[in-house]
Amino acid sequence: MTLMESAPGKTARTTAGLPLPLAANRFTARELDGARILCECLIAEGVEVMFGYPGGVLLPLYQVLGEYPEIRHILVRHEQAGGHAADAYGRVTNKVGVCMGTSGPGATNLVTAIATAHMDSAPLVAITGQVGRSMIGKDSFQETDITGITLPITKHNWLVMDTKDLAETIKKAFFLAQTGRPGPVLVDIPKDVFQAKAYFPGYPTEVKLRGYSPTIIGHTRQIKQAANLINQAQRPVILHGHGVTTSGAYQELADLAEKADIPVISTLQGLSAFPSAHPLSLGMPGMHGGIHANHAINESDVLIAIGMRFDDRVTGNLKSFARNSKIIHIDIDPAEIGKNVPTSIPIVGDVKNVLQVMNKSIEEKKHTEWREKIAGWKERDTKRRGNEMDRRGILPPQFIIQKMREVLGGNAVITVDVGQHQMWVAQHFEFEKANTFISSGGLGTMGFGLPAAMGARLAVKDKNVPVWTVTGDGGFQMNLQELATCVQDDIHVKIAIFNNGVLGMIRQWQSVFHDKRYHSTPITGPDFVKLAEAYGIKAWRVSEQSEVAPVIKEANEWPGPALVEFLIPEAEMVMPMVPPGGSNMDAIESAE
């Protein structure tokens, strides 16, 4: 790139706000246009990959993007997919994912992805182009009020109205997205702000945000009280969520559980933060959780909620949730405490930090009687799961998940779409390594799986670590255009489509709660194998149990993107199932 040296003289700013002598300026001052300032900032932030789509007002940026080979730009086929890919990239790397769209439809196409990241606290910076400053508010071509639209689904957003504010705004955006409770931040940049020049003294090293100071360190007395309560507990249970992953508190969670002999329940978003095969793991609770996990919460005397937010899919009817328990709630977001469930001991702080302090006051315990009781409930669940697996003449989805796990191993990163297959993965894929399960849990966004796998694939540097998406024939068709992106940018994602020819989860609800009126749930699709081949992607179709493991192995080893379609039974259901709004103790255990 060319450094445009200038002699800004009077206009030069230094950190002290005083003009520098002209001689000093000659080597430090740089006047750059907004487009190059943005690129400089992204590189300074360590951005290696961004997912974008060009458009009229972004042209000044795309004009200079080629000067910055440090940034790999992935041309997606739809901005929504770019948003999901950036979201998953952020979740897997624990850095900020970056997506970009042009003004108007480009920006509104990002909305679903931004809302998805917001619900799941994923670090994301969305950059949108805006019409030129003089055109704003005139209903100009491709103008939309994207800061207004995304106001309730971003942690914060900015419309940058002056090129000299750009660097500082980008710094703030990245800082905000990844600190405290992570989330999406949007920066809207008018076309002429990309074009106008401003003095660029380098990327700011620090950021001042007066109204923002997340509480990291927990209240000492509260932590002590919590430890005392845990030490006295007879039937304690840990219920943890995604907060363990965002704060990287895997070891601290395991230390607490093992030292005090406490069973661990992981919410959908918490899965993979604690090994599924650990003797203390009870898997997932709630609507499709294990009967034993829901029973354990119900009969616990102390419930230790860590980095989670008591979602309705977790609690079921609040009136009957953990009614005998004293609840300790640890979360970085004070607004989550007491939002849905009253808490005995609230602790606001970073989960890792709080657990490190708390674990020092935790006594070694054995809860043999309590764990035996839970084991009794689990036995029933294990039997039911065994029956689900062991069926001849059909291809049980649960069986496919089990085989995937056997073939791919505990390192594999799995992204999922939304629906039945999502729950089957959550129930049956034994997660071993931390942060290997990426799912749209909060918003439940169909079409998430494939683009998320693209983001995850680019995030996982080790080529030997498999990255798969498990998706349904419905969800896959919501973003299947990204097959072309996988080919053009050589992104080796592996796709498993669970094809039952219906919108399975909706059909399941129709079957159980809506009088079997199967309206608008039968869904056709293309020949997925031929479709993949049309894109130049290797594909297989599997309908026999004996083919499952060999095909997964072959697809996994294939040197490129690959797709496997599994033909599963239409009427298959996710069990157990708590009726919506019902008590977690009233789960249905079989479809009959």
User: How far is it, in rounded angstroms, from Cα 397 to Cα 400?
Assistant: 5
Query: Residue 148 interacts with other proteins (CB under 8 A)?
Result: yes
Q: Which helix (H) or strand (E) holds 204?
A: none
Query: Residue 333 interacts with other proteins (CB under 8 A)?
Result: yes
Could you say which of 79, 143, 336, 482 is catalytic?
Answer: 79
Instruction: Tell me the closest approach of the beta carbon of residue 431 to other proteins, in angstroms.
Output: 31
- Residue 272: phi and psi, rounded to 5, are 90, -10
Judged by CB under 8 A, the chain residues 99 through 118 that form the site for other proteins are none
Residue closer to other proteins, measured from CB, 183 or 561: 183
User: How far is it, in rounded angstroms, from Cα 551 to Cα 542?
Assistant: 8
Residues 6+ apart with CB under 8 A from 577: 287, 288, 508, 512, 587, 588
Query: Residue 579 interacts with other proteins (CB under 8 A)?
Result: no
**SS3 at position 212:** coil
Query: Residue 134 interacts with other proteins (CB under 8 A)?
Result: no
Could you say which of 1, 141, 533, 589 is catalytic?
Answer: 141
Query: Residue 323 interacts with other proteins (CB under 8 A)?
Result: yes
Query: Residue 334 interacts with other proteins (CB under 8 A)?
Result: yes
Instruction: Tell me the closest approach of the beta carbon of residue 229 to other proteins, in angstroms.
Output: 18
Query: Residue 519 interacts with other proteins (CB under 8 A)?
Result: no
Instruction: Tell me the closest approach of the beta carbon of residue 205 to other proteins, in angstroms.
Output: 20
Token readout for 265 is 């329940």
Residue closer to other proteins, measured from CB, 155 or 457: 155
Token readout for 390 is 């062991």
Indicate which single residue of 10, 208, 319, 517 sits in contact with other proteins (rule: CB under 8 A): 319
Q: Which of 79, 51, 54 lies closest to 64 in space, CA to CA?
A: 54
The CA-to-CA distance between both ends of the chain, in Å, stands at 68
Q: Which helix (H) or strand (E) holds 157?
A: strand 156-159
User: How far is it, in rounded angstroms, from Cα 552 to Cα 539?
Assistant: 11
Token readout for 258 is 């093992």
Indicate which single residue of 62, 68, 203, 212 sits in contact with other proteins (rule: CB under 8 A): 212
Q: Known catalytic residue: 358?
A: no
Q: Known catalytic residue: 142?
A: yes
Token readout for 333 is 């977001």
Indicate which single residue of 335, 534, 571, 591 sits in contact with other proteins (rule: CB under 8 A): 335
Residue closer to other proteins, measured from CB, 181 or 494: 181
Q: Known catalytic residue: 79?
A: yes
Q: With beta carbons less than 8 A apart as the criterion, state whether 415 and 86 touch.
A: no
Distance of CA 427 to the CA centre of its chain: 18
Query: Residue 152 interacts with other proteins (CB under 8 A)?
Result: yes
Q: With beta carbons less than 8 A apart as the criterion, state whether 285 and 315 touch.
A: no
Instruction: Tell me the closest approach of the beta carbon of residue 343 to other proteins, in angstroms.
Output: 11
Q: With beta carbons less than 8 A apart as the criterion, state whether 274 and 240 touch.
A: yes
Query: Residue 62 interacts with other proteins (CB under 8 A)?
Result: no
Residue closer to other proteins, measured from CB, 258 or 333: 333
Indicate which single residue of 138, 208, 210, 392 sits in contact with other proteins (rule: CB under 8 A): 210
Of the listed pieces 150-158, 293-301, 465-473, 545-553, which binds other proteins according to CB under 8 A?
Answer: 150-158
Query: Residue 208 interacts with other proteins (CB under 8 A)?
Result: no
Instruction: Tell me the closest approach of the beta carbon of residue 227 to other proteins, in angstroms.
Output: 25
Residue closer to other proteins, measured from CB, 156 or 352: 156
Q: Known catalytic residue: 505?
A: yes
Instruction: Tell me the closest approach of the beta carbon of residue 339 to other proteins, in angstroms.
Output: 6
**SS3 at position 4:** coil
Compute CA distances 218 → 176, 249, 356, whole Å: 20, 14, 10
Q: With beta carbons less than 8 A apart as the criterion, state whether 237 and 257 touch.
A: no
Instruction: Tell me the closest approach of the beta carbon of residue 305 to other proteins, in angstroms.
Output: 15
Residue closer to other proteins, measured from CB, 147 or 510: 147
Amino acid, single-letter form, for residue 366: K
**SS3 at position 341:** coil
Count of beta carbons in the 10 Å neighbourhood of residue 45: 19
Residue closer to other proteins, measured from CB, 172 or 405: 172
Q: Known catalytic residue: 319?
A: no
Query: Residue 311 interacts with other proteins (CB under 8 A)?
Result: no
Q: With beta carbons less than 8 A apart as the criterion, state whether 159 and 193 touch.
A: no
Indicate which single residue of 1, 22, 209, 375 sits in contact with other proteins (rule: CB under 8 A): 209
Indicate which single residue of 339, 463, 514, 530 sits in contact with other proteins (rule: CB under 8 A): 339
String marking each residue 239-268 x if it binds other proteins according to CB under 8 A: ------------------------------
Of the listed pieces 78-86, 333-341, 425-433, 472-480, which binds other proteins according to CB under 8 A?
Answer: 333-341
Could you say which of 63, 142, 488, 545 is catalytic?
Answer: 142
* Cβ-based burial of 356 (10 A; exposed 0-12, middle 13-18, buried ≥19): middle
User: How far is it, in rounded angstroms, from Cα 500 to Cα 400?
Assistant: 14
Q: With beta carbons less than 8 A apart as the criterion, state whether 302 and 324 touch.
A: no
Q: How many helices (H) and strands (E) does the chain have?
A: 24, 19
Residue with tokens 């419309």: 159
Indicate which single residue of 338, 526, 536, 580 sits in contact with other proteins (rule: CB under 8 A): 338
Query: Residue 147 interacts with other proteins (CB under 8 A)?
Result: yes
List the catalytic residues: 79, 141-142, 191, 505
Per CB under 8 A, residues contacting other proteins are 147-148, 151-152, 155-156, 159, 176, 209-212, 318-319, 323, 333-335, 337-339, 342
